[in-house]
């Protein structure tokens, strides 16, 4: 029953994510949801918080995908990783190849080095 009241109010803030955000808010205690329905400022704050959480989650997944492509040797993935602010060291760490050896230090400076491995 709360969903019928909550969803349109959430949609007024963010129509494209209204269903997802409503579901997130419905995980709260019923008294908290009722408070959100009675207090527009509190609802706005919670919707903004949910948007932030979803955005951070999406960015995290995107970085994981870029790292996975980089680890699999996808040159476009390596370039995307570098463009996305993911360091070569992060890529090598995700591959489990970073230690204190000189060879890995050389690899980190030049991914195209054929002596790396």
The per-residue pLDDT for 114 is 40
Query: For 56-78, what is each residue's pLDDT tens digit?
Result: 888 888 777 766 666 665 555 55
- Show the DSSP H helices in 1-111 as ranges: 2-13, 18-25, 30-38, 40-71, 75-83, 88-95, 102-109
pTM (predicted TM-score): 0.57
User: Average pLDDT of the chain?
Assistant: 74
Q: How far apart are CA 49 and CA 86, in angstroms?
A: 26
Query: For 26-55, what is each residue's pLDDT tens digit?
Result: 999 999 999 999 999 999 999 999 999 999
Which H or E run includes 85?
Answer: none
Give the Cβ contact number of residue 86 at 10 Å: 19
In the chain, domain spans:
2-86, 88-117
* Domain 2-86 falls under CATH 3.40.830.10: no
- Of the chain, the percentage scoring pLDDT greater than 70 comes to 56
Residues in the chain: 117
- Of the chain, the percentage scoring pLDDT greater than 90 comes to 44
């Amino acid at each position: 029953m709360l969903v019928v009241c909550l969803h349109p109010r959430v949609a007024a803030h963010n129509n494209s994510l209204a269903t997802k955000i409503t579901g997130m808010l419905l995980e709260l205690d019923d008294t908290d949801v009722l408070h959100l329905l009675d207090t527009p400022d509190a609802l706005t704050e919670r919707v903004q918080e949910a948007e932030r959480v979803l955005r951070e989650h999406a960015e995290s997944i995107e970085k994981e995908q870029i790292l996975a492509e980089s680890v699999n040797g996808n040159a476009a993935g390596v370039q995307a990783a570098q463009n996305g602010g993911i360091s070569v060291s992060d890529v090598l760490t995700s591959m489990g190849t970073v230690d204190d050896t000189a060879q890995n230090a050389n690899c980190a400076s030049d991914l195209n080095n054929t002596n790396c491995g």
